[in-house]
Structure 1
Amino acid sequence: MTTSTKGLEGIVATQSSISSIIDDQLSYVGYKIDDLAVKSSFEEVIYLLWNLKLPTEDELARIKTELAENMEIPNAVIEHLRSYDLSTVHPMAALRTAVSLLGLYDSEADVMDPEANKRKAIRIQAKIATIVAAFSRIRNGQDPVKPKKNLGYAENFLYMLNGKEAEDIEIEAINKALVLHADHELNASTFTARVCVATLSDIYSGITAAISALKGPLHGGANENVMKMLTEIGEEENAIPYIEEKLKNKEKIMGMGHRVYQNGDPRAKHLKKMSEELTKLTGQEKWYNMSVEIEEYVKESKGLPANVDFYSASVYHSLGIDHDLFTPIFAVSRTSGWLAHILEQYDNNRLIRPRAEYTGPELQDYVELPQRG
């Protein structure tokens, strides 16, 4: 048997037409992330990932309408969110449970034909934003806000989160973040989703499994930990001494470096620009300035450039978003990619069943219980 590779690093596990990372260039269905980040809406990217082509004007209008019309969540899910111990539960745990619960209220949950799966994909993508916003408001002693059917996806999310319509720059920032996080080839949560549905389990199971994988701090929690680090540093003059001490103790600097990029994450520069604009607008320039100092120092001393999580932290913070909501917002975006991969897996399915390299003892003789010393 072939020997194992720790973490499956470098192993090609499947074929996919959804996204690629080639020569440090991320693309969705062949479209460069730089173009999509600047020119497209999140709804366009959802359509692109699910249909492997950019939408026409009519197709874009249709998916926008379908998403807006399906954003409301069952009252039973809202009441379930109210029942949590809101002083201790992490939003990712709440999201994981609520998405699983959604499946109980979908009459097509176990209908597996392609058209039903597309309808469920719309419902899940629409409702996951509402769940995150509702949980946030309930936790803060506020009532959930119903979505507006005339608002786009990013705008609706901010409206449900804050109870008021957002400024253009805020909508632009969230839309850009959603586009940049939408898919990333065969990452841990996407692979988890594909393994789950390869058993022919339903879409809700696949998304719940993916959320569970994203919950881990080595995958989805990086931007939350970046903001925790910046908060601990406090002021700009403390940044380099803090990082020097971390590096001296061989501690990981969150948001720096990426396993699949050798020369830098192509997504980072877009959120870096948004961070600069938003922190200046809100009078919180120190978070951007501190981030730039850290990025330059770590890149110079360790050869590690910033990844997409590094600047998304200060972007979300500038928007007044609670730090522990950063990963759930990541999940809102990545759900589009998870669903694309789930649909692709269903279309050409084979049970995913790798082997393990055995490292235990050789075959042994069974010893009867009385003779065991």
Structure 2
Amino acid sequence: MRDQEHGRTGGPGRPERRLSTKEAAELLGVKPETVYAYVSRGQLSSRRAAGGRGSTFDADEVEALARRNRRDSGTGQTPGAELSVRTRLTLIEDDRYYFRGVDAAELAVRHSYEEVAEWLWTGRMHRGATFTAPPASIDAAHRAANALPAHTGPTDRLRVAAVAAAVADPLRFDLSEDAVLGTARTLIPTLVAALPPKNPAHQDGRSIAHRLWGRLSRLPATEASLHALDTALGLLVDHDLAASTLAVRVAASARAHAYAAISAGLGVIEGPLHGAASGLAHRLLREVLDQGSAAPVIAEELRAGRRIPGLGHRLYPGEDPRARVLFALLEEIPEAAPALAAARDVVITTARHTSLHANVDLALAVLTVSCGMAASAGEAVFAVARTAGWIAHALEEYGEQPLRMRPSGHYVGPKPTRALPE
């Protein structure tokens, strides 16, 4: 196919066929507004009609979607129900992932978390970027988080801190790019400051990694361990449309302010299949270290019908590139040797039954175990890191049509009209 003066050709000498919205809707068997829903999901492309009235659609593209919908209807799926969102942020393919076209793993190794975040937000490299928060924001977050029960986990504190910081910001409803980026650069250090301090020597460091260390570990940080934590933050900044990221985009689509969008992500991240997965892997490694072998631990997990945490990823048939990078850095930390050996034992033992590679949750668990951190520390690292990615997705969504993240329900209940219940 090629572009000509009068439009693209659909074959040798055949001009491209364009359909009106009404024609596309009739061919698809849907309402006209559903056609635009397909466009918002990235399943159809549209072009302004001559004169600027309405839109036109590629007939071949519409016919292909109609064929897919007919196949889906035979399997009980709602036609076009798979949500697809166009994004310029993260690409995952061939066991690698990229931030704005740049290898994300290499970016995280060579640049600080703050620099990776700025790259994802703006597409420009801000050397030496630092994030600071005003005292009013930190004070509000402190008072709210400190009012929680003593046993409260880090993600609970982060959620409360985000709400408190929002209330302290009268400009939170400004959704312009500059305002949202300003919010991001103050919210991230505010979230870190809301976590209870463990090591005073690291509470007021220049970098987010330095400050976060002082709230996760009582041990002094070495250059290698601090670099590993900083790289982990950079590796976890974004990962396409994970469940929490989708929640953020739904909130942003409804024009919730940035704090509220981040709160939506924090509300989802706590699930055991998402942000809390590293905590499960942490406990697994601790048990392997206590027992001296992975075999009995794995056997007990399988006997209980539980999946082994820290293994496999649906987006990586091979090795998780985030795990590969983090494991390599952990090899440079002598204190990490026992936890690394335990992780290798888990992978080798499980490989007798299924060939699953270690994922980033297992690598993050090695970091938290070897650096004297609690099982919940990995979740805190994940949440702080991903906040930057959520901001990037919120910014993208603010530039789209509002309320587009509204899939249609496929009703399977009783047919109307039923009598009123007595």
Distance in 2, matches of 1:161 and 1:251, equals 28
Residue deviations 1:136-176 (CA, integer Å, cap 9, x gap): 54xxxx9897524xx22322332465689732112201111
Distance in 2, matches of 1:30 and 1:68, equals 28
2:216/2:374 contact within 8 Å kept: no
Larger Rg: 2
Offset at 1:230? Answer: 1.9
2:141/2:161 contact within 8 Å kept: yes
Identity rate, percent: 26
| Alpha-carbon RMSD | 2.8
In structure 2, the residue matched to 1:326 is 378
Residue deviations 1:241-280 (CA, integer Å, cap 9, x gap): 32134335542000111122212211111122233333xx
2:98 alignment partner, SS class: strand
2:141/2:191 contact within 8 Å kept: no
Distance in 1, matches of 2:262 and 2:343, equals 33
2:166/2:259 contact within 8 Å kept: yes
Which of the residues 138, 151, 154 maps onto 2:209? 154
Which of the residues 211, 214, 221 maps onto 2:266? 211
User: Greater helix percent: which structure?
Assistant: 1
- The alpha-carbon distance between structure 1 residues 269 and 72, as it changes in their structure 2 partners (threshold 3 A), is farther
Which of the residues 90, 100, 105 maps onto 2:168? 105
Offset at 1:113? Answer: 2.4
- 1:21 is aligned to 2:73: no
- 1:357 is aligned to 2:421: no
**One-letter amino acid of the structure 1 residue matched with residue 418 of structure 2:** D
Flag structure 2 segments of 5+ consecutive residues without an equivalent: 1-29, 31-68
**One-letter amino acid of the structure 2 residue matched with residue 295 of structure 1:** V
Offset at 1:177? Answer: 0.5
**One-letter amino acid of the structure 1 residue matched with residue 274 of structure 2:** H
Which of the residues 1, 12, 37 maps onto 2:108? 37
Offset at 1:306? Answer: 1.0
- The alpha-carbon distance between structure 1 residues 235 and 10, as it changes in their structure 2 partners (threshold 3 A), is farther
1:236/1:289 contact within 8 Å kept: no
In structure 1, the residue matched to 2:316 is 261
In structure 1, the residue matched to 2:159 is 96
Offset at 1:130? Answer: 1.9
1:186 alignment partner, SS class: coil
Distance in 2, matches of 1:80 and 1:30, equals 40
Residue deviations 1:277-301 (CA, integer Å, cap 9, x gap): 33xx22x633211110111232342
Residue deviations 1:210-230 (CA, integer Å, cap 9, x gap): 001001111111111111112
Distance in 1, matches of 2:95 and 2:81, equals 15
Flag structure 1 segments of 5+ consecutive residues without an equivalent: none
2:232/2:364 contact within 8 Å kept: yes
- 1:60 is aligned to 2:113: no
Distance in 1, matches of 2:379 and 2:397, equals 25
Q: Which has the higher contact order (CA 8 A, sep 6+)?
A: 1
In structure 2, the residue matched to 1:232 is 287
- The alpha-carbon distance between structure 1 residues 72 and 241, as it changes in their structure 2 partners (threshold 3 A), is farther
2:140/2:164 contact within 8 Å kept: no
Distance in 2, matches of 1:309 and 1:237, equals 21
1:266-281 pair list within 5 angstroms: 266-278=321-333, 281=334
**One-letter amino acid of the structure 2 residue matched with residue 185 of structure 1:** D
Distance in 1, matches of 2:355 and 2:102, equals 28
In structure 2, the residue matched to 1:305 is 357
In structure 1, the residue matched to 2:122 is 51
Offset at 1:181? Answer: 0.6
- Which stretch of the first structure deviates more once superposed, 226-235 or 192-201? 226-235
1:294 alignment partner, SS class: helix
1:244-255 pair list within 5 angstroms: 244-255=299-310
Offset at 1:104? Answer: 0.5
Distance in 1, matches of 2:218 and 2:90, equals 35
TM-score normalised per structure 2: 0.75
Distance in 2, matches of 1:10 and 1:293, equals 41
- The alpha-carbon distance between structure 1 residues 227 and 24, as it changes in their structure 2 partners (threshold 3 A), is same
Distance in 1, matches of 2:213 and 2:193, equals 10
1:123-162 pair list within 5 angstroms: 123-132=186-195, 135-137=196-198, 147-148=204-205, 151-159=206-214
In structure 2, the residue matched to 1:86 is 150
- The alpha-carbon distance between structure 1 residues 108 and 303, as it changes in their structure 2 partners (threshold 3 A), is same
1:47/1:60 contact within 8 Å kept: no
Aligned length: 349
Offset at 1:182? Answer: 0.7
Offset at 1:71? Answer: 8.2
In structure 1, the residue matched to 2:141 is 77
1:151-190 pair list within 5 angstroms: 151-159=206-214, 166-190=221-245
- The alpha-carbon distance between structure 1 residues 325 and 200, as it changes in their structure 2 partners (threshold 3 A), is same
- The alpha-carbon distance between structure 1 residues 126 and 255, as it changes in their structure 2 partners (threshold 3 A), is same
TM-score normalised per structure 1: 0.85
Distance in 2, matches of 1:367 and 1:29, equals 55
Offset at 1:236? Answer: 6.0
- The alpha-carbon distance between structure 1 residues 161 and 304, as it changes in their structure 2 partners (threshold 3 A), is closer
Residue deviations 1:59-117 (CA, integer Å, cap 9, x gap): 324x32xx136588432321222221113x22211211111111000121112222212
2:180/2:258 contact within 8 Å kept: yes
**One-letter amino acid of the structure 2 residue matched with residue 340 of structure 1:** A
- The alpha-carbon distance between structure 1 residues 16 and 163, as it changes in their structure 2 partners (threshold 3 A), is same
Distance in 1, matches of 2:138 and 2:419, equals 56
User: Greater strand percent: which structure?
Assistant: 2
